[in-house]
Every structure is written in structure tokens, then in C-alpha cells.
Structure 1
Amino acid sequence: MPFAWMISTSLKTLPETMIFPPEWIPRDPVWSNFAQAWNTGPFLQYAVNSLIVSVGILLLQMLTIIPAAYAFARCKFAGSRLLFGLVMVTLMIPSQLIFLPVYLELSAFGLLDTHLGLILPFASSAFGIFLLRQGFMQVPEELLEAARLDLASEWSIIARIMVPLAKPVLVTFALFSFIAHWNDYFWPLVMTTSETARTLPLGIAKIREVEGVATWNILMAGNLILVAPILLVFVVSQRQIIRAFVYNGVK
């Protein structure tokens, strides 16, 4: 219903958005609303920035959560339970609570208003480690022992056995991560001061500043531009998401 209402409003004239009771189907669809929303600022730059930040964060997270999850799931070492508990504790700390020390640290390194400054604070994910650890724990130990008998290294086991078997879980986490950081408004607002590093959510917020009034049709057109890539990613990966929540037998 919210998506349908967003699409409907994005194709209306401003007076049509004020009609009560509201009408679902626009009388004369106004496709120029999308062009008007796009031209309120450098939206192409915003979109490129969002893509760089979201994909950059996701790649770094994959590099950190996969070995961490494997270590917690399959390696026995002193203090593993304590360390995993500390990882889980970080899920309870909201980012707004720690943004000031992180901001000051990045400022000291000259990373304010840069893509790297938007990416580095999210280089790992406690939720990703937890989710992937649970997936790795479903893999039978016999498979790993057979690989070790064939003289496979731990990195080879991760790359050739664990990651392929946990692919649905990885795709699900990737979708969650991409959506969260594509839609993130708070951190880019804090970290950026120029158009060269700002992302799409800030661009959408700017529409109201440019127009000066509540032009809901233009705002909804901008929001539709914002969510379109997310919907596309979801459609492409929905089969893997379903598999992540269904028991997978090992052939």
C-alpha cells in the first residue's frame, strides 16, 4: 500500500495530491515530475556516491565477516565465547551514541566529506557475523575433515566449501546491508558538507528546500527514484533470500 501510494502520488499534479477523499489513479499522469525531481540537484552525482558507498561498505564487510564467522563457528580458541559475546553486545549500541568519537577520529585523519569516511565506520557488521556464523554451523563437520585430509588449507575450505554452501545467507545479508546504507541519512548528513560526497537520501531531502513548499508529487517522484534500485536488487535476489530461511540439505 505505501509503495502503491508513492507511485500514485508521484504521477499527480500538486492540486490532485490535496484532494479529499484521495484518489488512487491520477487523472492525467504527469511524468515530468521525475525530471523535475531529478533536476533539483546533481542527482547523478548523488546516485554515484550512494552506489560507491553502499558497494564499498558491502565489499569490506564481506572481507571481515566471512573469516570472523568461520572462526567463531569452527575454530576452538581461548576466549572465543567472550569475544563472540562482545561482538553481540555491539548490536545494542545505536550508531547515534558513538558517532561523535568516530567523527572526531575521522576528522583527525582528514576523512570528512569523503567516500572513505562514509565507508570505514561500517567496515564490519556484528549482525553479519552472527547470521553467517549460524549458517556455517549448519555445515557438517565431516565435509571439513574430508577437505583437511585432502590437505586443503583453512582459507581453501572457506572459499570452496563454506562460502558456496552459505550463499543464500550471504545474499540475504548483502541485501540487508545494501538497503540499510543506500537509505542511510544520518551518517552522510553528519559526515558530508559538499555535493561531491553527498548521497541520494540527502538529495531527496533537498527537494523540499529547493521547492520551498510541500510539493508531495515531486517528493514522491524523488523517493521513487531512491527506492527503484532497491526494488531491482530485491527482485533479482529474492530466490536466494527464500533459500536462506529454508533448510538446505548437503548433497
Structure 2
Amino acid sequence: MTAAPFTLGRALRLGLLILGALIFLAPYIFMVSTSGKAQSEIFTSSLSLIPDQPYFLQNFAKAFSRVSMPRLLWNGVVVCGLILVFQVVIAVPCAYALAKLKFPAAKLMMALVMLGLLVPIHATALPLYVAFDKLSVLNSYVALVAPFSISVFGIFLFLQFFRAMPDDLIHAARLDGMSELGIVARVIVPNAWPAVTAFAIFSVVAHWNDLYWPLIVVSNQAYATPPLGLLYFRAAEAGDDYGALMAATLIITLPLVAAFLLAQKRFVEGITMTGLKG
């Protein structure tokens, strides 16, 4: 196979893609650069991405000494993992029922799902806080996980995916004597991994980076999530040590970058397949 000719249009498209990539990567590049600089070099008038003298080890050592970084990462993994499990376990059967089962309230339920997409967490934060306070579950994983255990976005995403699955496959499973839950577990879920992977990326990124809700329900550092830990980092006598702060931020964001790179193919496949469903 011969390579496609390098035309002016192709060069323009390539240039636009490179420019877009640089714009999106600029904050991360700046963060990596700052994490390797000494305090005196960060506040100089000259802008240089390459440190004059590498200061990575010192900044990373400060990040680990001033905050329990393993604890922050562990809390992030536990909270995001529990939220994702509950969301998938609840959203998949709900989406299957709306997509493949016929019942009188189907249209009403679909309307409620669409309305649920419009309600931000800020609107329900106060009543949820009061309820958790009365139940004495503030400063716990319950308070961090419970409000997000049902994802209307997840239901909508899986609904779009399940609509295009052939009905004959489900009818054949019913003829074999499978129950509806059996069909979900043994037919629907094995064929829905692209959609699950795509939703997992959205869910984990959103809740790993969430600062608003943990800031409300957590005051004990033992349950601090990664973004909340950065606030404690600055308050814990870190002052204006931006080199160490950027090093801590880099440590916190690396798991997300690694997860996306590992799941990139499935993520793109899942988004493409759910986006083409009518």
C-alpha cells in the first residue's frame, strides 16, 4: 500500500490537531515543569519550561512528607471504585428495562431520567448534608459514596447502547428459560463492556476530581479525597511552595492519565457505539 499524498489540506488538518493537542496539554506541561523547579526559579520574570537545576526529588519529597499521599490515593480509589460499582449495578438493569421491556410507566420513567440529567449536585447538597448529619455518617465513605450511587447519565448512556442490541438475542435467551436478571447478567453485560468502559472513564474522572462534595461532608483528613488533600497540603504549612504543590498535583493526576491510556481504545469504541444509537 502506498502512503497517501501529503497535500495542503492534510497539512492544515495535522497542524490544527497539533495546536489543539498543545492547548489541552499546556496545563499538564506547565505542572510538570513547575514540579521540577526551586521556589526561587518559579517566581522569576523569565518563562522557561526546562528547570535550570532539576528540583524534582526535593519537591516530591516535600509532597510525601507534608501530606499522607498514599492515604489520599487510597481514599480516591475506594470512593471512585464504590461509586462506579453501585452506578453500574443500578444503571444497567434500569437501562435494560427502559430499552427492551414494555410497561405502562416507561415513558414517564424516561422523562424522569431526562429531568434527572438537569439537576446538579449543588441543588441537593443542603438536604443531603442535613440528612447525613442526622444519621451521623459525615466523615465516612458512606457520605462520599451514597449521593452518587445512582447515575442518570449512566442510565441514559446504557439506554442508548442497549436500544441497538438485537431483540432476537433476548428472545432466544427467554426461550432458553432465562429470567430477566439472568439475561442482564449473562447476555447484556458481556456485550456491553465498551459502554461500561466509556462510562467508567467519565465516572472515575468526575469523582476523582470532585472537590465540592468532599469539602462539605469531610473534615477528617483520614477520609480526604485527592483534591481535598491538596487543600490540606497548602494549609499544612506549605505556604506558597508551588513546586511541592505541583508535585503533589502531578502524583494525584497520574492515575487518571494511566487509566485513560490503558482504556483509550475501549473508551473511543464505547462512545462511538453509544453515539450512533437512535
- TM-score tier after normalising by the smaller chain length: over 0.9
After superposition, residues 101-250 of structure 1 pair within 5 angstroms as: 101-211=127-237, 213-247=239-273
* CA positional deviation for 1:175: 1.1
1:247–1:178: structure 2 CA closer, same or farther, 3 Å change rule? closer
1:40 aligns to what? 66
> What is the one-letter code of the residue matched to 2:44?
I
For residues 18 and 164 of structure 1, what CA distance do their matches in structure 2 show?
53
- The Cα offsets for residues 18-48 of structure 1, whole Å up to 9 and x where unpaired, read as 2333101112211220110121122222222
1:45–1:245: structure 2 CA closer, same or farther, 3 Å change rule? closer
2:49 to 21, 24, 39: 24
State percent identity of aligned pairs: 36
After superposition, residues 67-86 of structure 1 pair within 5 angstroms as: 67-86=93-112
For residues 22 and 235 of structure 1, what CA distance do their matches in structure 2 show?
30
Higher relative contact order (CA 8 A, sep 6+): 1
Alignment length (residue pairs): 248
Structure 2 length as normaliser, TM-score?
A: 0.85
Name the SS for the 1:196 alignment partner.
Answer: helix
> What is the one-letter code of the residue matched to 1:45?
R
Return 5+ residue gaps in structure 1 as ranges.
Answer: none
Q: Is the 8 A contact 2:198 2:271 kept in 1?
A: no
1:61 aligns to what? 87
For residues 49 and 207 of structure 1, what CA distance do their matches in structure 2 show?
16
1:7 to 12, 32, 54: 32
For residues 234 and 155 of structure 2, what CA distance do their matches in structure 1 show?
39
* CA positional deviation for 1:247: 4.5
For residues 131 and 194 of structure 2, what CA distance do their matches in structure 1 show?
36
- The Cα offsets for residues 169-216 of structure 1, whole Å up to 9 and x where unpaired, read as 110101111111111111111101111211111111222223453222
> What is the one-letter code of the residue matched to 2:242?
W
2:78 aligns to what? 52
1:110–1:95: structure 2 CA closer, same or farther, 3 Å change rule? same
For residues 169 and 100 of structure 1, what CA distance do their matches in structure 2 show?
33
Name the SS for the 2:126 alignment partner.
Answer: helix
Q: Is the 8 A contact 2:100 2:163 kept in 1?
A: yes
> What is the one-letter code of the residue matched to 2:207?
H
- The Cα offsets for residues 201-249 of structure 1, whole Å up to 9 and x where unpaired, read as 111122222345322211111110110111111111111011113349x
> What is the one-letter code of the residue matched to 1:165?
N
For residues 188 and 247 of structure 1, what CA distance do their matches in structure 2 show?
34
For residues 90 and 176 of structure 2, what CA distance do their matches in structure 1 show?
26
For residues 245 and 200 of structure 1, what CA distance do their matches in structure 2 show?
27
For residues 120 and 179 of structure 2, what CA distance do their matches in structure 1 show?
38
For residues 50 and 168 of structure 2, what CA distance do their matches in structure 1 show?
59
Name the SS for the 2:263 alignment partner.
Answer: helix
Name the SS for the 2:265 alignment partner.
Answer: helix
For residues 202 and 48 of structure 1, what CA distance do their matches in structure 2 show?
13
1:138–1:192: structure 2 CA closer, same or farther, 3 Å change rule? same
Q: Is the 8 A contact 2:161 2:273 kept in 1?
A: no
For residues 125 and 119 of structure 1, what CA distance do their matches in structure 2 show?
12
